[in-house]
Amino acid sequence: MGMSFSYGPPKDKQEMISLMRTAVERGITFFDTAEVYGPFTNEELVGDALAPLRDRVVIATKFGFDTSVDPRAMKGAGPVLNSRPEHIREVAEASLKRLRTDVIDLFYQHRVDPAVPIEEVAGAVKELIHEGKVKHFGLSEAGIETIRRANAVQPVACLQNEYSLWFRRPEEGLLQTLEELGIGLVPYSPLGKGYLTGKMDEKTTFDSTDFRSTLPRFTSEALKANQVLVDLLGRIAAEKDATPAQIALAWLLAQKPWIVPIPGTTKLERLDENIGAVAVELSADDLREIDSAAAQITVQGNRYPEKLEKLTGR
């Protein structure tokens, strides 16, 4: 996402293609995009980068927004949803072309659309799976009841929700449900939209094209108040000869074997840093220490403005 959308101006296309191909050479096999990232430009970028390496990678993309509406509306009244079955099919066909592939490995509903029963959504994806255009069905920011209902129509391969040391709501019943149903979790923003890397402080400012400028958790007051969490990661990192970002990712990887975090980056050195998290071993004692210390910290600031928070947990 960050290569094309949300985190400041789009990055240089050839540099991003090179970075993605380098990631594949270094063992990264899972790439996440969505039609709304841009819109459309990120899928095209992923398609151009990965078409020559298609047999070596898994590509996930998403449907569920009405991209005919001016994307600036997403900053006003909020995004317009559309998960009608005919629209899902239109999105799939268009995404296949942009991604330069004949099958979408993982097709997520980006946000639950209350106007369309989830059974109809699951049924539409089920048809695409039977036709060989999609391999697996996913949901993003769905609530437990919705997950159960969808899974009864078409098995849900995984759920993409925010989860990290500074957003732990999935632990309140969601992880248990996923384990029961055999559904994987793909945590987005595993580095707290960059905050858990330790590269920000209360003086950090964001460009108007950076969506963090609209998030309550990224006000100077919240950045200052939440520094205690970064300090905790820094202490553990020093003991492990690692970076705070690597500890944040290693913590997620240590939670469950079916948790697959998707850190984004636009820089080669950060790619290597993220990959290095796999080698960081956190013992049961380390995890207890982190949990005990984190339990004393109350993270300040909502993660989204109200209009976007309303789209989650449905």
Q: Which parts of the chain sit beneath pLDDT 50?
A: none
How confident is the model over 215-230, as pLDDT tens digits?
999 999 999 999 999 9
Of residues 37, 108, 163, 188, which has the active-site annotation?
37
pTM of the model: 0.96
Convert the pLDDT of each residue in 91-126 to its tens digit: 999 999 999 999 999 999 999 999 999 999 999 999
Residue-level pLDDT at 69: 83
pLDDT of residue 76: 57
Residue 40's pLDDT is what? 97
**pLDDT of res. 78:** 76
pLDDT of residue 298: 95
Asked about 37 being catalytic, the answer comes back as yes
Please state, in angstroms and as integers, the Cα–Cα distance from residue 3 to each residue in 9, 14, 41, 249, following that order.
Answer: 9, 11, 10, 20
Q: Strand 184-185's sheet: what is its strand order? A: 30-32, 58-63, 104-109, 134-140, 156-160, 184-185
Could you tell me where the DSSP H helices lie in 111-267? 118-130, 144-153, 174-181, 220-225, 227-240, 244-255
Average confidence score pLDDT of the chain: 96
Which domains occur in the chain, in start order?
Answer: 1-160 (3.20.20.100), 192-257+266-314 (3.20.20.100)
Write down the pLDDT at residue 72.
Answer: 56
